[in-house]
Structure 1
C-alpha cells in the first residue's frame, strides 16, 4: 500500500512538472535588464556600484 501511494505521488508530481514546463517554458532563461555590469559582465547585487570599480558604458 505504501509503494502504491508513493508511485501515485511521483506520477502526480511528474504530470505537474510537465504542465508547468508547457505553460512557462521561458521562465528562467532571460536575465533581468541591467543585472550585469556592462564593463566586466559580472552579476550586480543591489543598487551599489560593481566591485570591479569600473564605470560601465
Structure 2
C-alpha cells in the first residue's frame, strides 16, 4: 500500500513538472537593460562592469 502511494505521489509530481514547464515562461530570459556582451543587468547610465560598450 505504501509503495502505491509513493508511486502515485511521484507520478503526480512528474505531471506537475511537465505542466509547469509549458505553463510558465522560461526563466532564462535576459532583462531589458542587460549588456549584450556579457548579459549582466545594467543599473544606471554608466558603462557595463565588463568594460565593453553597448
TM interval, shorter chain, is 0.5 to 0.7
TM-score normalised over the length of structure 2: 0.56
Unaligned runs of 5+ in 2: none
Aligned pair count reads 52
Q: TM-score, with normalisation over the residues of structure 1?
A: 0.55
Unpaired segments ≥5 residues, structure 1: none
Of structures 1 and 2, the one with the larger relative CO (CA 8 A, separation 6+) is: 1
Which segments of structure 1 move beyond 4 Å, counting only runs of 4 or more?
none
